[in-house]
């Protein structure tokens, strides 16, 4: 399959607007779709701010930034995506939401189109089974912030074809990313390793082993991490961390993936990290 002319990106949140930004910056037209105009407005404002930051750092010219922004068309009409031969889904990390979206995309997009998910933990095989084109379903897991981070996990479902894999690997490279091939398993590689680390760091705080600040300093000063696991959890979103831990626990059945009770309580309280203004640390809102 040749590279798509227009890419549908589903979801204008943190990951979706980052994916749209990178696609447009790399010369692709993008239909950015979300449920409400207000969601699209916030996503487009973020893209414009990030493009302006790239201009200020001389990574793009002003004209290049303007051209990239002009390639992104917002829409709340999912039916308008019928011109796209690739859709990248970046909806909330819940199977019910994603499976409903994939059934819709399967109906709307042309028969030859590839359906990709930016899921960080949910089974690609299970999502593919919701469609009539399981050979054309694949995982394309970007990392936050998408315009900066070079990695994309490219995840094969049980039935993903070699042609689909090759097309998406080539696309990731065209976006300036480094694709890493991963087989379909809960959490893939990144979150299967990262989330238990974050979860255990939360247990250390809950059990009074050390403060959040101390736990983070151990990893920054002793292990050369660019940020500690609790700072990173706040950046990712504690609700997202909890969703992924629950996927790991349900799929793998090992008690080592049991979400920390403190993580559950914080999410229940609405303390989600940076996006809510409070997590393990406080942030201006």
Catalytic residue annotation: 120, 141, 153, 191
Q: What does the longest C-alpha to C-alpha distance in the chain come to?
A: 55
13 is in an annotated binding site: yes
Return the exposure string of 9-24: e unless at least 16 CB atoms fall within 10 Å of the residue's CB, then b. Answer: bbbbbbbbbbbbbbbb
16 is in an annotated binding site: yes
The DSSP letter of residue 147 is T
Please give the torsion angle defined by the CA atoms of residues 39, 41, 43 and 45, in that order, rounded to the nearest 10 degrees: -150
12 is in an annotated binding site: yes
The DSSP letter of residue 272 is -
29 is in an annotated binding site: no
208 is in an annotated binding site: no
DSSP 183-198: ES-TTTTHHHHHHHHH
Do 116 and 11 meet the contact criterion of CB atoms below 8 Å apart? Answer: no
Neighbours of 73 (CB within 10 A): 14
93 is in an annotated binding site: yes
Pairing mode, if any, of strands 151-156 and 114-117?
A: unpaired
Pairing mode, if any, of strands 151-156 and 137-142?
A: antiparallel
The DSSP letter of residue 138 is E
15 is in an annotated binding site: yes
98 is in an annotated binding site: yes
The DSSP letter of residue 235 is H
50 is in an annotated binding site: no
Binding residues: 11-16, 34, 93, 98, 120, 144, 275
Which residues contribute to the annotated binding site for NAD(+)? 11-16, 34, 93, 98, 120, 144, 275
């Amino acid at each position: 399959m040749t590279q798509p002319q227009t890419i549908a990106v589903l979801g204008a949140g943190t990951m979706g607007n980052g994916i749209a930004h990178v696609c447009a910056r790399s010369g692709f037209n993008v239909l950015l779709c979300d449920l409400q105009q207000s969601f699209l407005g916030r996503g487009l404002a973020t893209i414009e701010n990030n493009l302006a930051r790239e201009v200020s750092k001389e990574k793009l010219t002003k004209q290049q930034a303007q051209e990239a922004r002009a390639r992104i068309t917002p829409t709340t009409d999912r039916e308008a995506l019928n011109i796209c031969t690739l859709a990248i889904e970046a909806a909330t990390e819940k199977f019910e939401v994603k499976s409903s979206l994939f059934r819709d995309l399967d109906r709307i997009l042309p028969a030859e189109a590839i359906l990709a998910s930016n899921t960080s933990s949910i089974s690609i095989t299970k999502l593919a089974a919701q469609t009539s084109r399981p050979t054309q379903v694949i995982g394309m897991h970007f990392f936050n912030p998408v315009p900066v981070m070079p990695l994309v996990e490219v995840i094969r479902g049980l039935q993903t074809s070699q042609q689909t894999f090759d097309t998406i690997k080539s696309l990731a490279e065209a976006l300036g990313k480094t694709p890493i091939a991963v087989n379909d398993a809960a959490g893939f590689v990144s979150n299967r390793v990262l989330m238990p680390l974050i979860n255990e760091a939360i247990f250390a705080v809950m059990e009074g082993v050390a403060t959040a600040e101390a736990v983070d300093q151990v990893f920054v000063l002793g292990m050369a991490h660019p940020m500690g696991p609790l700072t990173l959890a706040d950046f990712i979103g504690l609700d997202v961390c909890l969703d992924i831990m629950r996927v790991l626990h349900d799929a793998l059945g090992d008690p080592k993936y049991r979400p920390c009770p403190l993580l559950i309580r914080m999410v229940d309280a609405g303390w989600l990290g940076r996006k809510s203004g409070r997590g393990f640390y406080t942030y201006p809102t």
